[in-house]
Structure 1
Amino acid sequence: MNDPVNRPVVKLTRLTRSFEQGGERIDVLRGVDLEIQPGEIVALLGPSGSGKSTMLQAVGLLEGGFGGKIELSGIDATTLSSNGRTTLRRDHLGFVYQFHHLLPDFNALENVVLPQMVAGKTREEADIRAAELLDALGLGARKTHRPSQLSGGEQQRVAVARALANRPNLVLADEPTGNLDEKTADRVLAEFLALVRGEGSSALVATHNERLAAKMDRVFRLHEGLLE
C-alpha cells in the first residue's frame, strides 16, 4: 500500500466533460490526466472558454456530468454519494474565486470563522485560526471591517484566508487575481503562494496570465480539452 502522506492530493484519470449546444456536442474536456503532489502549486493556463473553470468544478466536486475518475487524497470521489462528496469537499478542499463571494453582513474575521464552525470547530478555536490567517495576510487591523469597507485586494485576501481556514489538502483558485490591477494582483498572489506553502497545502490555480503562472511549481496548458 502507498504511504498516504505521499499519495497525490489530486489524481485525474481520463477526465471528460461534454455539453449539448444548439443540437451540437461540444467536448470541453477530452480525457485529462493529472497528478498534483502534496505541497505542490500547479498553474492551469488557458484563454477564456478553454475549459479551465469546468476542470476546477470537476476537481471541486461542484457538479456532475463528468466522465473518468477523480481521486482526492486517495479517495475515489466518483464512487461517493452526494453526502460523501460534500464531506470530502468540506474536509479536503478550499476555494478562491475571481470575485471574493464574501458574506456582506459579516466582517472579515466572521467570514473566516464561519466555514470552520460548519466543520465543527468551536467559536474560540475558529476565532484564533481566523485571526492568525488574517494577521499573516496583513489584515490584522481590518478584522472587524465588512467587505464593503475593504479594498479589492483586501477582500481577496480575506477570501484566501477563508479558503485556508480548515487546513485543506488542496486549494482551487479560479482566476484569483483577475479582478485586480497588476500591482495588487502581484501582491495578493505572492501572499497567496506564501500562505499556501506555509500551510503545507497544494493548489491548482486557473489563470490566463503567463507571468503569474510562471511563479508556480508547474504549468499546464489546457488546449482543445487536453493538458499540454
Structure 2
Amino acid sequence: MNRGYGGGPVVRLNNLTRSFEQGGVRIDVLRGIDLTIAPGEIVALLGPSGSGKSTMLQAVGLLEGGFGGDIAIAGEQASKMAADERTRLRREHLGFVYQFHHLLPDFNAKENVILPQLVKGTPREAATERAEHLLGQLGLAQRLDHRPSQLSGGEQQRVAVARALANRPSLVLADEPTGNLDEATSDKVLAQFLELVRGEGSAALVATHNERLASRMDRVVRLHEGHLN
C-alpha cells in the first residue's frame, strides 16, 4: 500500500483557471475548475482532443506556472510555492505517465525504474528490488536488461508505468497513457496499470478521450469548454 500520504484529499483544486494569448486574442482554456480526489481514487478526465486535459494535468503536476486559483497536493498549498518547493512536492507525491514513454534510451528497463528512486535518495539495493518487483508485476521479469529499443510499444509503456510508481506516489498523473497503442495492447496495458495503481494504493487522474477506457475507472469527470461536469 502507498504510505506517502495518509489524510485528507490527495488533490484539491479550487477555481483553477488558465488563459493564453494567441494572435492578440485571449483564449480561456480552464474556466474555474473545482476537483477533489481522495486517496486511492482513480479518476478519468474525459474530453476530446484540444479540450484542455493536458493543460489541467500540467497544473496538477506543478509543471508550469500561469495558472489562477488554488492547487493543493497532499494537503500542501502548491499555488504560491517557490520552484524548489514545487520540485520537492512533485518528487515526494507525484508520478507521471505520458502517451509516449519518454524512457532513457541508453538505460535498460530496470535502470529506467531505478534512476528516479536514486534521485529521491533511495539506496541502490532497495531501488533495484523495487524496480524488479514492479516490472515483474507488469509481466516484464524476463525483459529487465532490455533497452527501450528492444521492447515493443506495450512493453515500453509498462516500463513507464513502473517508473511512475517507483517512488510510491500519492498520485499518478497519466496523459492518454495508452493513446499510442493499438486497441488490444491498450486494453492490456490499461488493465495492468489500473491493477498496479490499486495494488499500490495510489490515486490517479487519467486523461483520455476514450469513453470505454474511462468507464473502467472509479469516477469520470468531463472537461467541456473549460468547465468540469
Mapped contact 1:171–1:203 kept (Cα < 8 A) = yes
Aligned-pair CA distance for 1:209: 0.3
Aligned-pair CA distance for 1:47: 0.7
Tell me, yes or no, if structure 1 residue 147 matches structure 2 residue 145.
no
Corresponding residue for residue 189 of structure 1: 190
The whole-number CA distance in structure 1 between the counterparts of 2:164 and 2:45 is: 19
Alpha-carbon displacement from aligned partner over 1:132-187 (angstroms, at most 9, x marks no partner): 00000000000000000000000000000000000000000000000000000000
Corresponding residue for residue 100 of structure 1: 101
The whole-number CA distance in structure 2 between the counterparts of 1:90 and 1:227 is: 27
Mapped contact 1:6–1:37 kept (Cα < 8 A) = no
Corresponding residue for residue 82 of structure 1: 83
Task: Please list every run of at least 4 consecutive aligned residues from structure 1 whose deviation after the TM superposition is greater than 2 angstroms.
Answer: none
The whole-number CA distance in structure 2 between the counterparts of 1:6 and 1:133 is: 25
Equivalent residue pairs, number: 225
Mapped contact 1:43–1:205 kept (Cα < 8 A) = yes
Structure 1 counterpart SS, 2:84: helix
Q: 1:125 is matched by which residue type in structure 2?
A: A
Q: How is 1:35-184 mapped onto 2 (pairs within 5 angstroms)?
A: 35-184=36-185
Aligned-pair CA distance for 1:6: 3.6
Aligned-pair CA distance for 1:80: 1.3
Q: 2:86 is matched by which residue type in structure 1?
A: R
Structure 2 counterpart SS, 1:130: helix
Mapped contact 1:171–1:204 kept (Cα < 8 A) = yes
Structure 2 counterpart SS, 1:78: coil
Aligned-pair CA distance for 1:78: 1.1
The whole-number CA distance in structure 1 between the counterparts of 2:157 and 2:79 is: 31
Corresponding residue for residue 27 of structure 1: 28
The whole-number CA distance in structure 1 between the counterparts of 2:44 and 2:7 is: 21
TM-score scaled by structure 2?
Answer: 0.97
The whole-number CA distance in structure 2 between the counterparts of 1:81 and 1:26 is: 27
Q: 1:85 is matched by which residue type in structure 2?
A: R
Corresponding residue for residue 225 of structure 1: 226
Aligned-pair CA distance for 1:79: 2.5
TM-score scaled by structure 1?
Answer: 0.98
Aligned-pair CA distance for 1:5: 2.8
State the percentage of identical aligned residues: 76
Structure 1 counterpart SS, 2:179: coil
The whole-number CA distance in structure 1 between the counterparts of 2:18 and 2:26 is: 10
Structure 2: any 5+ residue segments left out of the alignment?
none
